[in-house]
Structure 1
Amino acid sequence: MIGSINIVTNLHVNHNIECMYKKLSLLLLSGIAFLPVTQAQILKQLGKAVSSATGGTTASGVTQTDAGNAIKEALAKGVAAGIATLNKKDGFFGNELYKMLLPPDAVKAGNTLRGIGLGSQVDKAILSINRAAEKGVGYAAPIFVDAIKEMSITDALKLIQGDKNAATEYFKGKTTDKLKAAFSPVIKGSLDSTSATRYYGDIVTSYNKLPTTFNKINPDLQDYVTGMAVNALFDQISKEEANIRANPAARTTDLLKKVFGK
Structure 2
Amino acid sequence: MATHSQVLTRRRLMIGSGAMVGMGALGLAGCAGYGGFSLVEVVRRLLQLSANRAFDRLLAPGGFWDDQMARLVLPQQLGNRGGMLQQMLTGPLFKDRLARAFNDMAERAAYRAAPAVTEAIRGMGVRDALALIRGRPDEATNYLRGEMAGRLIDVMFPQFGDLLHATSDPLVGQALQLATGVDVNGIANDLARQADDAIWRSIGREEAEIRRNPRGTNDPLLERAFGGG
Provide Cα deviations, 1:64-107, integer angstroms capped at 9, x if missing partner: xx111111111111111111111122112233333223212311
- Which residue is 1:127 aligned to? 100
| Distance in 2 between residues matched to 1:157 and 1:191, nearest whole Å | 44
Aligned-pair identity (%): 24
- CA 1:78–1:217 in 2, change beyond 3 Å: closer, same or farther? same
| Distance in 2 between residues matched to 1:192 and 1:217, nearest whole Å | 13
1:62 aligns with 2:24: no
Gaps of 5+ in 1: 1-31, 209-215
- Which residue is 1:236 aligned to? 202
Shift of 1:56: 8.8
1:51 and 1:255 in contact (8 A); partners too: no
Shift of 1:164: 1.3
2:65 and 2:103 in contact (8 A); partners too: yes
- CA 1:34–1:201 in 2, change beyond 3 Å: closer, same or farther? closer
Shift of 1:133: 0.5
Shift of 1:258: 3.1
| Distance in 2 between residues matched to 1:237 and 1:114, nearest whole Å | 32
| Distance in 1 between residues matched to 2:45 and 2:197, nearest whole Å | 20
1:148 aligns with 2:121: yes
- 1:256 alignment partner AA: L
1:112 aligns with 2:78: no
Shift of 1:50: 6.4
SS in structure 2 opposite 1:94? Answer: coil
1:186 aligns with 2:159: yes
The alignment of Structure 1 onto Structure 2 pairs a total of residues equal to 217
- 2:200 alignment partner AA: F
Gaps of 5+ in 2: none
- CA 1:201–1:38 in 2, change beyond 3 Å: closer, same or farther? closer
- Which residue is 2:175 aligned to? 203
SS in structure 2 opposite 1:92? Answer: coil
Aligned-CA RMSD value: 3.6
- 2:87 alignment partner AA: T
Report the more deviating stretch, 228-237 or 100-109: 100-109
TM-score by length of 1: 0.67
- CA 1:175–1:137 in 2, change beyond 3 Å: closer, same or farther? same
Match of residue 173, structure 1, among 146, 155, 178 = 146
SS in structure 2 opposite 1:154? Answer: coil
Match of residue 71, structure 1, among 43, 56, 63 = 43
- CA 1:96–1:37 in 2, change beyond 3 Å: closer, same or farther? farther
Shift of 1:34: 4.0
- 2:155 alignment partner AA: A
- CA 1:34–1:114 in 2, change beyond 3 Å: closer, same or farther? closer
